[in-house]
Amino acid sequence: MDLERRIVKAGRWPMTGWRCVPRGGDRRTPVVCVHGAGVSSRELRPLVAALGAHVPAWTVDLPGFGRSAKPPRPLDLAGLGDALISWLEAEDLPPACLVGCSFGCQLAVDVAVRHPERVHSLVLVGPTVDPQARSWPRMIGRWLRNSVRESPRMAPLNVADYWDAGMRRVVATFEVAMRDRPEDKLPRVAVPTLVVRGEYDRMVSQAWAEQVTRLIPRARLVIVPGMPHMIPFRDPQALAPIVTEPAASP
């Protein structure tokens, strides 16, 4: 399905998002996909298109990335979370199912803990950062091992996004991700949560995915066979029915 591009003033910055809704409109819980560190929503738009045949689906470029405004200084986790909340409010969305991918999971958790009234449910796809990978050498090593199973189309998109954002902002955002301690926040997530890991995800260990699931009071874990870290880009059609389940729950 076709995606509609939308630009709204969200707090201090214009932000660019994309939506795809079933024909005739839909009043069901919207699904909002949140992209990872250093990149834009381009990696998630295939999933939004797959979801849009069934539920209202959205994604957005966070400030500093993609087609959204570039703040003079990189935003920290709280700043990015506040921007996401401002965008949800500017689009007048009801409580949404937030689908985080990679670092987007950390943002989704932060928003769910600080603004539970804005979140219907969570889907954490490849949640970072595994405590055993919170250093540049370890993170880069995992990224290299994972990359051999990713779509060959993803690397050029990532390089273009890094160039567009600027390496200072990209590096700063990865450092924000590594400083964060999601394990301290996960027990305070009150909404139903689905943790999703690709069978061959080398960025997120099975042990960490299981720990995330244990720490969240109302969570369960789904393993997607044959998939690496970036399931939304590698096989959005396989992920879409998994994502729609929490959004459809009361």
pLDDT tens profile 156-168:
999 999 999 999 9
pLDDT digits (tens, 9 = 90+) for 171-203: 999 999 999 999 999 999 999 999 999 999 999
Whole-model pTM? 0.96
**pLDDT over 70 (residue 120):** yes
Q: Does the bond joining 222 to the residue before it have cis omega, within 30 degrees of 0?
A: no
**pLDDT over 90 (residue 53):** no
What pLDDT is stored for residue 88 in this prediction? 98
Question: Over pLDDT 70: what percentage of the chain?
Answer: 98
Which architecture, in CATH terms, is 4-248? 3-Layer(aba) Sandwich (3.40)
Closest CA to 237 of 27, 51, 39: 51
**pLDDT over 70 (residue 231):** yes
Domain residue ranges of the chain, discontinuous segments joined by + = 4-248
Task: Using CB atoms within 10 Å of the CB of residue 56, give its burial: 0 to 12 exposed, 13 to 18 middle, 19+ buried.
Answer: buried
pLDDT digits (tens, 9 = 90+) for 31-52: 999 999 999 999 999 999 999 9
